[in-house]
């Protein structure tokens, strides 16, 4: 996609050696999102520090604890990685439709229903079907339900003109009500008293840990999903068509691209990833489907996707960073006597500043080689 | 069924009473959002503003002993939230829908953070007018005990309808919302109008929050709002950016929200949680029916990013 400026006139005008110039241009074009993104994070942290100062606590101590709790030891790194696993998948649920120009914010609903679907699929099979087959069937059920749920928002967007941001959010509230109905009603384990949930899965039906680590396989599944999504968007013709449709729907339609199917397909794939996140929560963390499935992974995923500028590969480091911040939340709470919402405030601040910094893209000459010549 | 004095008549009465009780926050948030959207901008952050307003109102009411001071304080914070949203969105390349989601997360986080100490203490409630004094039945008395804010909200809806049509401010707002270029040609600064419209919208949404914490359900906790701020955005579309439509739609939503508790009170508990989903399903169905893929919605402000 990058414009290769091999025009001899430009090379001659430049005082730099001609062989170095393409490399510098390559670096400049790729440096823009990284430099602006990092600057946004620094500004966000500075604003958050002011807030912490204003309530009379020490920001230095907070960041120190955040580092210790998130990445300071092998134990905390593993904790961060575990928390990053669902975020990888819920961020994809935002990032894939975003390539088509859609803002989907209802991933939480697909997570919740995916978890319920996985539990509902597994419970009758426990004891009779082989473990591996059960896992496959659970994943299929979770992805199917999640895909239908978010795919519906995409379908309605294209074929009925319903705004996908709002419909996906309404679907998310409906999904949580459905989960409560299932967990309180037909799927309720009578033994679960205060916290209604489905029957727990036996230990051998739980998703195990990656050998040598205290991190469940969900991380691997999430990373693979990110890589697959990257290939889908950047390498395949479907991804190319989706990016065109995201840039200009009319141009895509004139070119004869199946915009409707692209939108329905991409939102369905996105939703199936979020559904898979629900299955992982059930089989790796909770052991049963219950109200804890609505833990906000869908909403943090929105932040991760925007932070990564909807690039599936960039989602991997960002999700680990956010997972680390979440993991450090408990430590901050205990050591500094701050409420658990501290992490929410930090996330909100970062989110706002990062979106605000979108305005600086394309404003700095240094990142735009086409403008270099004029400044020289 | 006969343990209540009026038997099954309790269901429609409870829905009616619920419609009035539950609709008030919808009225204020949707009127605020109407003003914002009429200026051509959308604020999805009103959910955060609503919850922060609820917290502020409760905290100020606890400390000062006056619920009305709480409402005023909530309005002030709502205006600040709206102004921040409006200021950020005036910059080029900034997506107002995404900023709304971010402001929502920020508002919720800040409200939970600052509101922690106020979960326990009790605040004085807003007064209600007992219009059911003529009846001896406690159910009717309870149903007709109408909060002052509901009446203010209804009056505001009619006042806004009049102001949009007949005042200079209303005209400027509509011009800015329909065409940024036309507004510039008139010598109006669209960014400034949108900033003010978002601030006013935020302060109205915060009143909705104050109603939640100071009247119904009447306490502050982290689950005080169940998406009222966001559903109001859908409600504004349903009401076609018409203030009186907002008022009626809010009543409809309130009634749908009261369906579950009303049926439960007469012993229908089957599918209880599904009734909780009723307002969301209703919103979605209405949006599906009233939207169209080929033309923009009737009455939609031309510069609004949501309907493009």
What stretches of B65-188 show up as alpha helix (H) in DSSP?
Answer: 67-89, 96-115, 138-143, 148-166, 168-178, 180-185
> CA–CA separation, A110 vs A116, rounded Å?
10
Residue B232 and residue B26 in contact, taking contact as beta carbons nearer than 8 Å: yes
Query: Which has the higher per-residue pLDDT, B257 or B94?
Result: B94
Can you give the pLDDT at residue A298? Answer: 92
* Chain A residues within 8 A of B107 when measuring between CB atoms: 348
Residue B246 has pLDDT above 60, yes or no: yes
| Interchain CB distance below 8 Å, A351 and B105 | yes
Quote the pLDDT of residue B115: 93
Residue with tokens 């996330």: A347
pLDDT given at position B255: 87
Residue B88 and residue A352: Cβ atoms within 8 Å?
yes
% of chain A residues with pLDDT over 70: 94
B237: which chain A residues are within 8 Å (Cβ-Cβ)?
163, 166
Q: Which two tokens stand for residue B90?
A: 């005036």
Q: Do A348 and B110 touch (CB under 8 A)?
A: yes
Structure confidence at residue A2 as a pLDDT band (50, 70, 90):
very low
Nearest to A49 by CA among A342, A282, A325: A342
| A351–B88 C-beta distance less than 8 A | no
Sole residue written with tokens 């069937």: A137
Q: B273 and A356: CB-CB below 8 Å?
A: no
Mean pLDDT score across all residues of chain A? 89
- pLDDT band for B7, please (50, 70, 90 cuts): low
The three-class DSSP label of residue B128 is strand
Q: Mean pLDDT over all residues of chain B?
A: 88
Cβ <8 Å between B274 and A177? yes
pLDDT digits (tens, 9 = 90+) for A303-355: 899 889 899 999 999 999 999 998 998 888 899 989 889 989 999 999 999 99
B206 pLDDT above the threshold of 80: yes
Burial of B216 (0-12, 13-18, 19+ CB in 10 A): buried
CA distance B290 to B272: 28
Interface check for A361 against chain B (CB to CB < 8 A): the answer is yes
Q: In whole angstroms, what is the distance from residue B285 CA to residue B291 CA? A: 10
Among partner residues B92, B105, B116, which is closest to A359 by beta-carbon distance? Answer: B92
Contact B103 A359 (CB under 8 A): no
pLDDT class of B3 with cuts at 50, 70, 90: very low
- Tell whether A171 lies on the interface with B, counting CB pairs under 8 A: yes
CA distance B284 to chain A (A): 6
Q: Using CB atoms, pick whichever of B106, B292, B306 lies closest to residue A163.
A: B306
**Per-residue pLDDT at A1:** 42
* Per-residue pLDDT tens over the stretch A62-104: 999 999 999 999 999 999 999 999 999 999 999 999 999 999 9
CA B61 – CA B88 distance, rounded (Å): 31
A152 touches chain B (CB under 8 A): no
Mutation test of the interface with chain A: which of B280, B290, B295, choosing the one with the most A Cβ atoms within 10 A? Answer: B280
Residue range A233-251: mean pLDDT, rounded:
90
Instruction: Report residue B21 as tokens.
Output: 């009780």
Stretch among A2-11, A275-284, B64-73 having the lowest mean pLDDT = A2-11
pLDDT above 80 (res B188) = yes
Average pLDDT over residues A121-139: 91
> What DSSP state is assigned to residue B129?
E
Interval B160-181 mean pLDDT: 94
pLDDT bucket at A22, cuts 50 / 70 / 90:
confident
Q: Do B99 and A181 touch (CB under 8 A)?
A: no
Contact residues, A window 254-313, toward B, CB-based 8 Å cutoff: 299, 302-303, 306
Q: What is the mean pLDDT of residues A147-162?
A: 94
The answer to whether residue A248 neighbours chain B at the CB level (below 8 Å) is no
The shortest CB-CB distance from A103 to any of B92, B97, B230 is to B97
**For position B1, what pLDDT does the model report?**
40
Taking 80 as the threshold, does the pLDDT of residue A44 lie above it?
Answer: yes
Q: What is the pTM of this model?
A: 0.89
- Cis ω before B217 (30° cut-off from 0): yes
Would you say B209 and B149 are in contact if contact means Cβ atoms under 8 Å apart?
A: no
> What pLDDT was estimated at residue A48?
95
CA-nearest of A373, A316, A323, A317 to A347 is A323
Kindly state the percentage of chain B with pLDDT values over 90: 55
Dump pLDDT digits (tens) for B104-151: 999 999 999 999 989 888 888 888 888 877 877 777 777 778 889 999
Q: Are A355 and B272 inside 8 Å of each other by CB?
A: no
pLDDT at B12: 83
Mind listing the pLDDT tens digit for each residue in B112-121? 999 998 988 8
Q: Do B112 and A349 touch (CB under 8 A)?
A: no
């Amino acid at each position: 996609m990058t414009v290769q400026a091999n025009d001899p006139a430009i090379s001659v005008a430049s005082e730099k050696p001609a062989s170095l110039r393409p490399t510098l241009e390559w670096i400049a074009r790729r440096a823009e999102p990284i430099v602006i993104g990092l600057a946004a994070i620094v500004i966000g942290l500075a604003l958050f520090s002011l807030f912490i100062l204003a309530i009379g606590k020490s920001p230095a101590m907070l960041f120190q604890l955040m580092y210790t709790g998130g990445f300071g030891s092998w134990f905390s790194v593993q904790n961060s990685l575990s928390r990053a696993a669902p975020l990888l998948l819920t961020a994809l649920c935002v990032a894939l439709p975003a390539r088509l120009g859609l803002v989907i914010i209802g991933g939480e609903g697909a997570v919740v229903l995916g978890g319920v679907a996985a539990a509902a699929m597994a419970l009758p099979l426990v004891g009779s079907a082989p473990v591996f087959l059960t896992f496959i069937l659970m994943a299929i059920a979770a992805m199917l339900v999640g895909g239908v749920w978010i795919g519906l928002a995409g379908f309605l967007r294209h074929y009925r003109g319903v705004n996908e941001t709002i419909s996906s959010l309404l679907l998310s509230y409906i999904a949580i009500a459905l989960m409560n109905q299932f967990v309180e009603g037909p799927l309720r384990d009578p033994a679960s008293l205060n916290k209604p949930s489905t029957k727990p899965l036996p230990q051998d039906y739980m998703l195990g840990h990656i050998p040598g680590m205290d991190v469940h396989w969900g991380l691997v599944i999430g990373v693979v999903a990110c890589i697959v999504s990257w290939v889908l968007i950047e390498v395949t013709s479907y991804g190319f068509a989706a990016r065109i449709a995201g840039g200009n729907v009319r141009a895509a339609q004139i070119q004869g691209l199946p915009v409707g199917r692209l939108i329905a397909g991409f939102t369905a794939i996105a939703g199936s990833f979020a559904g898979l996140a629900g299955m992982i929560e059930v089989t790796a963390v909770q052991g049963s489907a219950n109200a804890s499935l609505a833990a906000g992974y869908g909403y943090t995923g929105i932040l991760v996707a925007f932070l990564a500028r909807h690039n599936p590969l960039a989602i991997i480091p960002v999700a680990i960073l956010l997972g680390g911040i979440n993991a450090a939340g408990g430590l901050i709470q205990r050591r500094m006597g701050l409420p658990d919402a501290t992490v929410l405030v930090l996330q909100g601040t970062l989110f706002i500043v990062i979106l605000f910094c979108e305005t600086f893209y394309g404003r700095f000459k240094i990142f735009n080689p086409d403008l270099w010549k004029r400044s020289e | 069924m006969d343990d209540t004095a009026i038997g099954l008549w309790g269901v429609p009465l409870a829905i009616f009473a619920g419609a009035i009780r539950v609709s008030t926050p919808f009225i204020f948030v949707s009127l605020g959002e109407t003003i914002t959207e009429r200026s051509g901008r959308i604020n999805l952050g009103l959910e955060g503003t609503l919850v922060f307003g609820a917290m502020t109102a409760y905290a100020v009411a606890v400390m000062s002993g006056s619920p009305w001071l709480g409402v005023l304080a909530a309005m002030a914070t709502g205006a600040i939230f709206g102004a921040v949203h409006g200021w950020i969105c005036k910059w080029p390349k900034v997506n107002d829908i995404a900023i709304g989601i971010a402001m929502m997360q920020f508002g919720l986080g800040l409200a939970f953070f600052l509101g922690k100490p106020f979960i326990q203490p009790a605040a004085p409630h807003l007064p209600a007018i007992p219009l059911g004094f003529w009846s001896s039945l406690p159910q009717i008395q309870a149903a007709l005990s109408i909060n002052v804010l509901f009446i203010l909200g209804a009056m505001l809806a009619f006042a806004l309808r009049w102001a949009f049509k007949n005042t200079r401010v209303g005209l400027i707002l509509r011009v800015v919302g329909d065409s940024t270029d036309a507004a510039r040609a008139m010598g109006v600064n669209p960014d400034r109008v949108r900033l003010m419209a978002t601030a006013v919208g935020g302060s109205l949404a915060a009143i909705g929050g104050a109603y939640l914490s100071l009247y119904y359900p009447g306490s502050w906790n982290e689950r005080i709002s169940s998406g009222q701020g966001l559903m109001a955005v859908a409600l504004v579309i349903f009401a076609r950016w018409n203030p009186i439509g907002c008022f009626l739609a809010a009543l409809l939503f309130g009634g749908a929200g009261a369906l579950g508790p009303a049926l439960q009170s007469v012993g229908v508990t089957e599918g209880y949680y599904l009734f909780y989903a009723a307002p969301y399903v209703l919103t979605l169905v209405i949006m599906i029916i009233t939207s169209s893929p080929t033309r923009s919605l009737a009455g939609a402000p031309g510069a609004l990013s949501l309907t493009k």
